[in-house]
């Protein structure tokens, strides 16, 4: 917290609207009108407008963000609060969100929050209206209480993959339960009877019916009994998936023949552990991932997974925020998107189209 010389020369040397006004020989108000495009509204003469634009260009003028935000009570920035940056899942989500946001005049930024353990509240500028709205992904970032407080202070909030903790907060999610069911059901249909599920280790248990519920439903429907020793939690990384899989393989006679992994990242770890142990996939052991991110098309073997509409997720999150900004009643408080099973090689079964053709198609 060393706070020595503030001396951020950014504004010190930056020209202000007054500078531009002086150069153009008009008042600062005119600068604002011209540069914000409100000049077209039968107000400013073409001649003045051109002079202003020229002056602004000459000085390299850009409006000061803080002043503008303070005055307008809006920043035009939406921020994503993500657990970490290392899951490409969110890359797809954010990219789509960015495109959607841009169309409404908003920019998108990202804050990786898991890095600061339990310090969501430390991000005081979140509350200080540094952003017009925030989209929170992952229940690890913050507590439901913190979100409710944000909403109470009037910050627009949308949560991803989690139930809305407050009537003022919309949520956008994929149908995790259905995904869990489809993954497990696929393995059951292929003849597996002892099916493991490796899930993420959470500090605060989620409120949402998720993969695990779908897993249980599929088992039940097939008349298989739920075996708690087949459900493991692990760190949400490749290494975590690998370690958990090794634990499963150490189960000896009770060892499962298949695993439904929390996400593709952990599934990659599983494939690795199986290879290290000398098991062939899918012959000796089947693996299903979750998410549908790119890596699954490039593993050996390629990964059967549950694909999410990630672009749609990002787009909807932005639209939900926009409706919140405009204080329009949201047509829906909880948006639920469908998932779909993508059969590749890691479970066997399924039409084994030549990998090459398949890859080409998906690369497009």
Phi, psi of 108 (to 5 degrees): -120, 130
Q: Which is nearer to its own copies, 193 or 277 (by Cβ)?
A: 277
- CA 68 – CA 282 distance, rounded (Å): 59
SS3 at position 247: helix
Q: Assess 32 for contact with DNA (CB under 7 A).
A: yes
Q: Which is nearer to its own copies, 107 or 336 (by Cβ)?
A: 107
Task: Please choose which of DNA, its own copies, none residue 88 contacts, taking the beta carbon within 5 to 8 angstroms, the exact cut-off set by kind.
Answer: its own copies
Site for its own copies in 6-35 (CB under 8 A): 6-14
Q: Assess 148 for contact with its own copies (CB under 8 A).
A: no
Q: Assess 145 for contact with its own copies (CB under 8 A).
A: no
CA 135-321-117 angle, 5° bins:
15
CB of 124 vs DNA, minimal distance in Å: 10
Task: Please choose which of its own copies, DNA, none residue 225 contacts, taking the beta carbon within 5 to 8 angstroms, the exact cut-off set by kind.
Answer: none
Q: Assess 263 for contact with its own copies (CB under 8 A).
A: no
Burial-class residue 73 by CB neighbours within 10 Å (0-12, 13-18, 19+).
Answer: exposed
- CA 117 – CA 226 distance, rounded (Å): 34
- CA 197 – CA 286 distance, rounded (Å): 12
Residue 148, both tokens: 């409710």
Answer for which of 24, 34, 52, 130 binds its own copies (CB under 8 A) is 130
Burial-class residue 224 by CB neighbours within 10 Å (0-12, 13-18, 19+).
Answer: middle
CB of 8 vs DNA, minimal distance in Å: 11
Per-residue mark of binding to DNA, 50-79 (x: CB under 7 A): -----------x-xx--xx-xxxx------
CB of 242 vs DNA, minimal distance in Å: 47
Q: Assess 4 for contact with DNA (CB under 7 A).
A: no
Q: Which is nearer to its own copies, 338 or 355 (by Cβ)?
A: 355
CB of 162 vs DNA, minimal distance in Å: 30
Distances (CA, A) of 93 to 89, 142, 316: 7, 20, 10
Q: Assess 330 for contact with its own copies (CB under 8 A).
A: no
Task: Please choose which of its own copies, DNA, none residue 144 contacts, taking the beta carbon within 5 to 8 angstroms, the exact cut-off set by kind.
Answer: none
CA nearest neighbour of 245 among 265, 228, 263, 259: 259
Burial-class residue 6 by CB neighbours within 10 Å (0-12, 13-18, 19+).
Answer: exposed
Q: Which is nearer to its own copies, 218 or 288 (by Cβ)?
A: 288
Tokens 């209206």 correspond to 129
Q: Assess 252 for contact with its own copies (CB under 8 A).
A: no
CA nearest neighbour of 195 among 170, 231, 220, 236: 231
Distances (CA, A) of 334 to 33, 54, 208, 316, 322: 40, 49, 12, 11, 15
Task: Single out the segment in contact with DNA by CB under 7 A; choices: 34-42, 163-171, 257-265, 324-332.
Answer: 34-42
CB of 128 vs DNA, minimal distance in Å: 7
- CA 119 – CA 98 distance, rounded (Å): 26
Residue 346, both tokens: 């890691």
Site for its own copies in 67-96 (CB under 8 A): 67-70, 72-77, 79, 84-86, 88, 90-92, 94-95
The binding site for DNA (CB under 7 A) comprises 6, 11, 16-18, 25-33, 35-36, 38, 42-45, 47-49, 61, 63-64, 67-68, 70-73
């Amino acid at each position: 917290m060393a706070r020595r010389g503030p001396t951020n020369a950014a504004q010190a040397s930056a020209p202000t609207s007054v500078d531009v006004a002086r150069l153009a020989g008009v008042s600062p108000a005119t600068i604002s009108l011209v540069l914000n495009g409100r000049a077209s509204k039968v107000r400013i003469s073409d001649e003045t407008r051109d002079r202003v634009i020229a002056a602004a260009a000459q000085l390299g003028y850009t409006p000061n963000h803080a002043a503008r935000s303070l005055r307008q009570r809006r920043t035009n920035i939406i921020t994503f609060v993500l657990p970490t940056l290392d899951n490409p899942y969110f890359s797809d989500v954010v990219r789509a969100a960015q495109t959607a946001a841009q169309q409404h005049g908003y920019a998108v930024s990202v804050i990786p929050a898991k890095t600061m353990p339990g310090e969501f509240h430390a991000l005081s500028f979140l509350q200080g209206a540094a952003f017009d709205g925030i989209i929170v992904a992952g229940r690890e970032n913050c507590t439901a209480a913190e979100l409710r407080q944000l909403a109470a202070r009037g910050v627009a909030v949308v949560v991803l993959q989690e139930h809305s903790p407050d009537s003022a907060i919309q949520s956008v999610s994929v149908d995790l339960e259905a995904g869990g069911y489809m993954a497990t059901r696929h393995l059951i249909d292929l003849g597996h009877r002892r099916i493991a599920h490796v899930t993420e280790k959470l500090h605060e248990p989620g409120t949402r019916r998720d993969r695990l519920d779908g897993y249980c439903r599929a088992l039940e429907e097939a008349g298989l009994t739920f075996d708690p020793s087949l459900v493991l939690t692990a760190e949400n990384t490749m290494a975590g998936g690998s370690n958990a899989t090794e634990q499963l393989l150490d189960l000896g006679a009770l060892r499962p023949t298949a695993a439904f992994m929390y996400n593709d990242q952990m599934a990659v770890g599983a494939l690795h552990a199986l290879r290290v142990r000398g098991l062939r996939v899918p012959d000796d052991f089947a693996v299903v991932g979750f998410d549908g991110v790119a890596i699954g098309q490039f593993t050996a073997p390629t990964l059967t997974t549950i694909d999410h509409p990630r672009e749609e997720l990002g787009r909807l999150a932005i639209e939900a925020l926009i409706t919140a900004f405009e204080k329009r009643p949201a047509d829906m408080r909880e948006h639920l998107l469908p998932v779909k099973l993508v059969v590749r090689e890691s479970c066997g079964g399924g039409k084994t189209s030549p990998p090459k053709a398949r890859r080409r198609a998906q690369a497009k």
